């Protein structure tokens, strides 16, 4: 897994279950059950207006009662939290975790829907190295598990699930052994089949037998069991077979928070390196400028690799006979040719001046009645990686 470096578009599900605003709650429940999806998006003209999740169904059943008489607007959450498809996957997961949501809509740059991402999408992206960090089920499971006797009602179960934000409730016997499980998806099914399923008992509505796993079993094997059984949760049992925890996609994906901390540290370190590099470059530039200014009596001319003058120290302007070099942007070879060195280009090459080699030349010329002479020393400008960046000329 290398989620740190992936855009969310590489993880998202592109086939989205959509409904329009004129759908009733009953139609949405039927669609969710038939397609076995955990969420539907309310979309008009590819603009996402709302979302209905299994958790929304549980919450509304607990707080409102029977759902079939509700409209789409009554059932959905709005506005919908969205991210652009270019967002970093780790940032998106951290947003989901911080807002305590399990689905997020993905849009293009214009805000039009292109996909949806859930915790299960992150789970599919995991590699073996993720499971190795936990090793066993006990390192990833949650001990906050909802337990009720089989005589409890659906109303009691959804109240527990809503108040504790849990995705399931296990029915257990007096010794804590699992008898069955009622999940959010079961609640969607019951709401579709009954006007108000709350009076029903767990014994009449729960699914069984319950898939279980021991705390000492390998996490990778537990995930494989969930995948093969096409389920999203396992009851974790102790040595006596009593339920002591629950393992769901949420707990497994929750390990990404540790990855996010590592990701942030890497980002900060990377930014610090850039800042230090920039600061170093600034300091080196200031140091060079100070050196050039302090070279009293010596004209210092720096060029780039294509011979354009990029810097001169004040001595160039202060010594009239060297004023030819005082125009940044000019080709230094043209100036040297006018001063009596027509073949300077054969010397101003990295091959000739490599390994610290310098070339000296004496130039003499006449201006009016005055004879002028300059001692010139030429060397290569290199960076901290010993790569040529230009040429340095010292003139006296």
For the stretch 320-373, pLDDT in tens is: 666 666 677 788 888 888 778 888 888 888 888 877 777 888 877 777 777 777
Beta-strand relationship, 18-19 and 39-44: parallel
Q: Which residues are paired to 212 by β-bridges?
A: 235
CA distance 193 to 8: 36
Higher pLDDT, residue 232 or 371: 232
**pLDDT band of 24, cuts 50, 70, 90:** very high
φ and ψ of 313, to 5 deg: -85, 165
Proportion of the chain above pLDDT 70, given as a percent: 82
Name, in order, each residue with C-beta under 8 angstroms of 15's C-beta and a sequence gap of 6 or more. Answer: none
User: Is the pTM higher than 0.85?
Assistant: no
pLDDT beyond 50 at 116: yes
pLDDT value at position 4? 58
CA distance 349 to 370: 32
CA distance 98 to 102: 11
- Burial grade of 385 (CB within 10 A; 0-12, 13-18, 19 or more): exposed
pLDDT beyond 90 at 153: yes
Token pair in block for residue 61: 């059943």
CA distance 67 to 96: 27
User: What ranges in the chain are assigned the alpha helix state H?
Assistant: 25-35, 54-63, 72-75, 89-99, 119-124, 128-134, 154-164, 184-193, 202-205, 219-229, 249-253, 256-294, 314-318, 332-338, 350-353
């Amino acid at each position: 897994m290398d989620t740190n470096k992936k855009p969310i578009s590489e993880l998202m599900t592109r086939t989205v279950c959509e409904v329009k605003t004129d759908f009733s709650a009953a139609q949405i429940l039927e669609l969710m059950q038939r397609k076995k999806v955990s969420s539907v998006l309310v979309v008009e003209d590819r603009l996402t207006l709302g979302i209905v999740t299994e958790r929304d169904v549980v919450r509304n059943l607990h707080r409102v009662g029977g759902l079939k008489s509700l409209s789409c607007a009554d059932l959905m959450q709005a506005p919908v939290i969205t991210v652009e498809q270019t967002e970093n996957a780790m940032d998106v997961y951290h947003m989901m975790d911080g807002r305590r949501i399990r689905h997020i809509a993905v849009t293009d740059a214009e805000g039009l829907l292109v996909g949806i991402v859930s915790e299960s999408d992150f789970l599919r992206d995991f590699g073996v190295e993720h499971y190795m960090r936990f090793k066993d089920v006990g390192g990833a499971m949650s001990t906050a598990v909802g337990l009720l006797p089989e005589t409890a009602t659906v109303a009691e179960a959804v109240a527990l699930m809503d108040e504790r934000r849990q995705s399931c409730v296990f029915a257990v016997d007096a010794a804590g052994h699992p008898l069955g499980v009622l999940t959010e998806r079961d609640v969607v099914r019951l709401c579709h089949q009954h006007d108000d399923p709350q009076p029903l008992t767990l014994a009449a509505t729960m699914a069984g037998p319950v898939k279980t796993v021991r705390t000492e079993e390998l996490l990778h094997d537990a995930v494989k069991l969930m995948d093969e059984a096409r389920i999203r949760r396992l009851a974790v049992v102790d040595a006596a077979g009593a339920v002591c925890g629950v393992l769901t996609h949420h707990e497994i994906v929750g390990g990404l928070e540790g990855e996010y901390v590592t990701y942030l540290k890497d980002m900060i370190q990377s930014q610090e390196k850039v800042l230090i590099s920039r600061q170093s470059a600034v300091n080196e530039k200031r140091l060079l400028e100070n050196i050039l200014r302090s070279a009293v009596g010596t004209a210092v001319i720096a060029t780039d690799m294509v011979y354009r003058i990029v810097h001169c120290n004040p001595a160039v302007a202060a010594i009239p006979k060297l004023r030819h070099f005082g125009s940044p942007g000019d080709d230094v070879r043209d100036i040297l040719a006018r001063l009596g060195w027509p073949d300077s280009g054969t010397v101003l090459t990295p091959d000739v001046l490599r390994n610290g080699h310098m070339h000296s030349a004496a130039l003499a010329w006449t201006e009016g009645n005055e004879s002028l002479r300059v001692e010139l020393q030429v060397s290569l400008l290199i960076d901290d990686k010993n790569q040529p960046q230009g040429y340095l000329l010292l003139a006296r």
